[in-house]
Homo-oligomer: A and B are copies of this chain.
Amino acid sequence: MALNTLRDLYVEQLRDLYSAENQILKSLPKMAEAAKHPELRQAFEAHVTLTEEHVRRLDQIFTDLDEKGSGHHCKGMEGLLKEANDTVKEKGDSDVLDAAMIANAQRVEHYEMAGYGCVRTYARMLGREQDATLIQQTLDEEGATDEQLTTLAERVINIDAMRDM
């Protein structure tokens, strides 16, 4: 698709995020299963529900735009989830591997924060306030997830990983 207008870019970026969210949905159960700390497993499991809600919001936006959400594969998220998948298979101490999974998950969150930040700006410029409100909700939730992971790492998991030295 040629990017002739800001609306074209808006739709393409939404499709990129739609692909990213759907790829995350497939990876989260594997990450939850590999997590040793119950708090981390629960965080990944809770993020499945949140991600499903993010997909629903994107579906709503695509319906309002009269556009399809499918047809784009997010190569960025593919790379980030390859890293996460490598960690799941990696050998070592389980506390350290949990810390590594958090590092992967925070890269995933940051990708989404960057992406949703861009589409929120485009939505506002295009006068699509309803879309912008939905996008802002997702953006806030991705930011909160990132902070939650930082707290979990700094207060529990990294400390346990340090004990194994």
A residues adjacent to B (C-beta < 8 A): 2-9, 12-13, 16, 74-80, 82-83, 86, 90-93, 96-97, 99-100, 102-103, 106-107, 109-111, 113-115, 117-118, 121-122, 125-126, 146, 150, 153-154, 158-159, 161-162, 164-165
Q: How many copies does the complex hold?
A: 2
Q: Which residues of B contact A114 (CB under 8 A)?
A: 103, 106-107, 109-110, 146
Majority DSSP secondary structure for residues of A touching B: helix
Contact of A100 among B9, B92, B126 (CB under 8 A): B9
Known: A9-B100, A125-B158, A153-B121. A3 touches B91 (CB 8 A): yes
Name the CB-closest residue of B to A99: B9
Q: List 8 A-B residue pairs with CB atoms under 8 Å apart, sorted by A's residue number.
A: A3-B91, A4-B164, A5-B93, A6-B161, A8-B96, A107-B111, A122-B158, A125-B162
